[in-house]
Amino acid sequence: MSINTVGVSDADLVRRVLAGDTDTYGALVARYRDRLGRYAVHMLGDREEAEEALQDAFVRGYRSLRRCNDPARFGPWLYGILVNRCRTAGARAQRRRQMFVRNEAALNGASLPAPLVDRAEFEDVVRLALARLTPECREAFLLKFVEDLEYEEIARLTGAGVSALKMRVKRAREQLRAILTEAEHV
Amino acid sequence: MKLAALFVALTLATRVAAQEPRLERLDSAARAPVAALIDSARVTGLPAEPLIQRALEGTTKGAPAGRVVAAVRRLAADLGRAREALGLSTAPLELEAGAAALRAGASPAVLTQLRRARHQPLMVPLAVLADLVASGVPPDSAAAAVLVLAGSVRDADLVEFRRAVERDIALGASPAGAATGVARDAALGVTDLNSSARTGSARPRRP
Amino acid sequence: MFDRIVAHLREPVRIDPALDERVMAEIAALRAPAPALLRRFLPLAGLAAAAAVLAVVFVARPRAPTIRELQFVLVAPQAATVSLVGDFNDWDAARTPMRPLRSDGPVWSAVVPLAPGRYHYAFLVNGSRWLADPAAPTASDDGFGTPSSVVTVSGT
């Protein structure tokens, strides 16, 4: 991080970029890369695709920076862009391969590794379990439980109503619990 | 029976050679056996390109046909063993690197462990493993070092690790010591594997 | 168990910082699409003479698998001709002749575009003498009589 961007607020950085200091956008990228990356990785389940979606989101963020109404809320605004990019990427991936299984019957037939002592296995199981949620449920779950956003904020980002979101999150929790309990007892 | 086998081999060779004009460059004594090996590989889903390149290398270097065939046969076997160790859905590049690691002296168990330790493509860790052993690092030390790093370190850093080890060896360290030392330092955060990973660019670097 | 899942998902994820450069490169291309420059990575194949490296950046959208341009360098003061030969050119000695970096200087160079992968290669000097790359890893011996070197191009 450059010496003249440490401690500088997002709003100030955004203003500098809008004033013509393009290089400063890099500081915003560095600031949000890992945080947004976390959402993208868990949402898409594939690091390479996550990085592509992330790169895409950052570039679009730059191109539409003027439309960020409140520079102080650059972060949440960028989140919205990323959520959209992940939806597009997810839809594309679904057409390409059958990673996101939604058929309940098929789910129960698949075996899961046990016991869940090994960290790498646990990560695998969580990733597979997430993959089994519908994209809407997974999205809502990650935004609420991992990114800690309020329902009103999630509603703004996703365009869904608050009660629909609450139902999706509830469903996601139930499914994850069910899948992982099953995994423990195999 | 022998004639029939010879006939089949020649037919196969003709078919493969038709699909693969590069084999025309081979010594006539090597062409049929190599074509048969390539055909077997294709049939079992192993990549053919590395076999073709190996045959071309031997041919260009003027090696006798027997040596060329032996090298291709050995590589085909290594690719098969790599696939057993790494899994059926392993990508061709990973199989090639895995074959190289096995040929260099790594055990199949190490390959399997690497597959478990790292959820990203394995081509670079396997290549680094092969290269380290080729530099004289004992297979166990090389395997241990790569396994320690593979779970958490990026491809570019693994390549830097290999370079750092080779630098140390060039400066007089024992290969085993160099590998263990650099790996330990990297794991402790003492060495930033990243420090020389990137070359210059036209744009001023961000600190 | 659920808490464990959430705790795991909330753990920080480390994204390759190289992403920043790719983003900024893409942005730069948006603003100035005309110039196209090339980035080369130099395998340390010579001495300090290798400091004759040119470093220029190719402005495009680097996506895996990326084609990288690699510069191969050999110090061969006695050579009249040098060829780079390897898996990437079907071991055809005619395909990649090397050129001296400075006229009749001892440093020979060739730039080759490479997709991710692991490649055997060697230098052929004066049409008859095979040399491995002194600063690259050696390939396992195939009994061909002369050693080859290895270069690995990663996908990231």
User: What are the tens digits of pLDDT across the range A23-48?
Assistant: 899 999 999 999 999 999 999 988 88
- Contact status, residue B172 vs residue B150, Cβ threshold 8 Å: no
**Does B11 reach chain A within 8 Å, measured CB to CB?**
no
Residue C69 Cα, gap to closest chain A Cα (Å): 22
Total residues belonging to chain A = 186
pLDDT reading at B178 higher than 50: yes
Beta carbons of C15 and A176 less than 8 Å apart: no
Tokens describing residue C90: 């079907």
Q: How many CB pairs under 8 A join B and C?
A: 114
Q: Which residue has 């990203």 as its token pair?
A: B120
Rounded distance, CA B175 to CA B162, Å?
11
Q: Searching chain B, which residue's CA lies closest to the CA of residue C124?
A: B61
pLDDT at B5: 59
Which of the other chains make 3 or more beta carbon contacts under 8 angstroms with chain B? Answer: A, C
pLDDT tens figures, B14-24: 666 667 889 99
Question: Tokens standing for B10?
Answer: 């020649």
Residues C77, C78, C84, C86, CA torsion sign: negative
Count of C-beta atoms within a 10 Å radius of residue B159: 20
Min Cα distance A139 → chain B (Å) is 22
Distance CA A89, CA A98 (A): 14
Chain A positions in Cβ-Cβ contact with residue B206 (cut-off 8 Å): 1-2, 23, 26-27, 30
**pLDDT recorded at residue A74:** 92
Contact status of B119 with chain A (Cβ, < 8 Å) = yes
pLDDT tier for residue B69 given thresholds of 50, 70 and 90: very high
Instruction: Name the packing angle between helices A151-158 and A74-96 (round to 10°).
Output: 60
Bridge partner list, C110: C72
Total domain count, chain C? 2
Q: What percent of chain A has pLDDT over 90?
A: 44
Instruction: Tell me which residue has tokens 């990437």.
Output: C88
Supply the range of the domain harboring residue C13: 2-60
Share of chain B residues as helix, strand and coil, in percent rounded to the nearest 5 = 75, 0, 25
Q: What angle do CA C35, C41, C44 make, to 5 degrees?
A: 150
What is the distance in angstroms between the Cα of B58 and the nearest Cα belonging to chain C? 6
Per-residue pLDDT at A82? 96
Residues C90 and C32 in one domain: no
Residue type present at position B30: A
Flag the least confident range among A120-124, B193-197, C76-80: B193-197
Q: What is the pLDDT of residue B18?
A: 63
In terms of C-beta density within 10 A (0-12 exposed, 13-18 middle, 19 or more buried), how is residue B10 classed? Answer: middle
pLDDT bracket for residue B162 (50, 70, 90): confident
Q: How many residues make up chain B in this entry?
A: 207
Which of residues C113 and A116 earns the better pLDDT score?
A: C113
User: How many other C-beta atoms can be found within 10 angstroms of the C-beta atom of residue A117?
Assistant: 7
Residues of chain C contacting B179 with CB distance shorter than 8 Å: none
Q: Who's near A156: CB < 8 A, 6+ residues apart? A: A76, A80
Residue B136 has pLDDT above 80, yes or no: yes
Which chain B residue's Cα is nearest to A6? B207
In this predicted model, what pLDDT tens digit does every residue of B35-53 receive, in sequence order? 999 999 988 889 999 999 9
Q: Name the residue among A117, A131, A166 with its Cα closest to residue A145.
A: A166
Partners of C70 in the β-ladder: C41, C112
State the CATH number of the domain containing residue C144. Answer: 2.60.40.10
Read off the pLDDT of residues A3-29 as tens digits, 9 standing for 90 and up. Answer: 566 778 899 999 999 988 888 999 999
Kindly list the strands in the beta sheet with C68-75, ordered across the sheet, starting from the edge strand earlier in the chain: C40-41, C68-75, C107-114, C99-100
Identify the weakest region by mean pLDDT among B87-96, B134-143, C81-90.
Answer: B134-143
pLDDT, position B48: 93
Residues 6+ apart with CB under 8 A from B49: B92
What integer pLDDT is reported at residue A183 of this predicted model?
Answer: 58
pLDDT in the model for residue B135: 82
Contact C27 A181 (CB under 8 A): no
The reply to whether residue A55 touches residue C22, judged by beta carbons under 8 angstroms, is yes
Q: Which residue has the higher pLDDT, A122 or A29?
A: A29
Which residues are bridge partners to C117 per DSSP? C153
pLDDT of residue B126: 94
pLDDT of residue A93: 67
A51/C19 touch (CB, cutoff 8 Å), yes or no: yes
Q: B198 to each of B70, C129, C137, how far by Cα in Å?
A: 40, 33, 20
Q: What is the mean pLDDT of chain B?
A: 81
Q: Quick check: B207 pLDDT over 70?
A: no
Dihedrals phi, psi of C114, to nearest 5 degrees = -130, 130
Averaged over B1-21, what is the pLDDT?
Answer: 63
CA distance A54 to A86: 8
Q: How far is B205 from chain A (nearest CA, A)?
A: 10
pLDDT for res C85: 97
What is residue A144's predicted lDDT score, i.e. its pLDDT?
Answer: 95
Q: Which residue reads 């450069």 in tokens?
A: C21
Helices (H) and strands (E) in chain A, counts: 9, 0
pLDDT higher for B160 or A117? B160
Q: Does C8 touch chain A (CB under 8 A)?
A: yes
The ranges of chain C with pLDDT < 50 are 33-64
Residue that finishes a domain, picked among C20, C42, C60: C60
pLDDT at position B14 is 63
pLDDT at B3: 61
ipTM: 0.81
Reply yes or no on whether the pLDDT at B115 is more than 80. Answer: yes
Run of H or E residues at B21: none
The mean per-residue pLDDT over the stretch B132-144 comes to: 87
Per DSSP, the residues of C18-74 read: HHHHHHHHHHHHHH--S-----EE----SSGGGGG-------S---SSPPEEEEEEE
Token pair of C24 as six digits: 């900024």
Do C95 and C116 reside in the same domain of the chain? yes
Q: How many other CB atoms are found less than 10 A from the CB of residue B128?
A: 29
**pLDDT score recorded for residue C3:** 85
Q: A54-89 as b/e, with b when 16 or more CB fall inside 10 Å?
A: bbbbbbebbeebeebeebeebeebbbbbbbbbbbeb
Judging contacts by C-beta atoms under 8 Å, the chain A residues touching residue C13 are 34, 37-38, 41-42
CB contact under 8 A, B151 and A124: no
Query: Taking CA atoms, what residue in C is nearest to B73?
Result: C142
Do C43 and C91 share a structural domain? no
Torsion of CA A107, A113, A114, A118, to 10 degrees: -130
Find the range with the poorest average confidence among B128-137, B163-172, C19-28: B163-172
What's the CA gap between B86 and B107, in Å, rounded? 12
What pLDDT, on the 0 to 100 scale, is given for residue B150? Answer: 82
Closest chain B CA to residue C153 = B124
Distance from CA of C39 to the nearest CA of A (A): 20
Work out the average pLDDT over B171-185: 77
According to the model, what pLDDT value does residue A94 have? 60
Position C4 scores a pLDDT of 85
Report whether C148 contacts C122 (CB < 8 A): yes
Q: Same domain for C77 and C142?
A: yes
Q: Tell me whether A92 touches chain C (CB under 8 Å).
A: no
Per-residue model confidence (pLDDT) at position C64: 46
d(CA B185, nearest CA chain C) in Å: 20
Contacts of B123 in chain C (CB under 8 A): 116-118, 152, 154-155
String of DSSP letters for A55-118:
HHHHHHHHHTGGG-S-GGGHHHHHHHHHHHHHHHHHHHHHHH---S---HHHHHHS-----TTS
pLDDT at A1: 42
Same domain, C54 and C13: yes
Q: Is pLDDT at A84 greater than 70 in this prediction?
A: yes
Residue extents of the structural domains in chain B: 1-89, 91-207
Radius of gyration of chain B (CA): 20
Domain co-membership, C55 together with C72: no
Residue with more model confidence, B11 or C20:
C20
Instruction: Show residues of chain B in contact with A23, CB under 8 Å.
Output: 206
Same domain, C45 and C81: no
Q: Examine the fold and report which residue of C60, C85, C101 is the final residue of a domain before the chain moves on.
A: C60
What are the chain C neighbours of B104 within 8 Å (beta carbons)?
Answer: 140
Query: Is C64 part of the contact surface with chain A (CB cutoff 8 Å)?
Result: yes
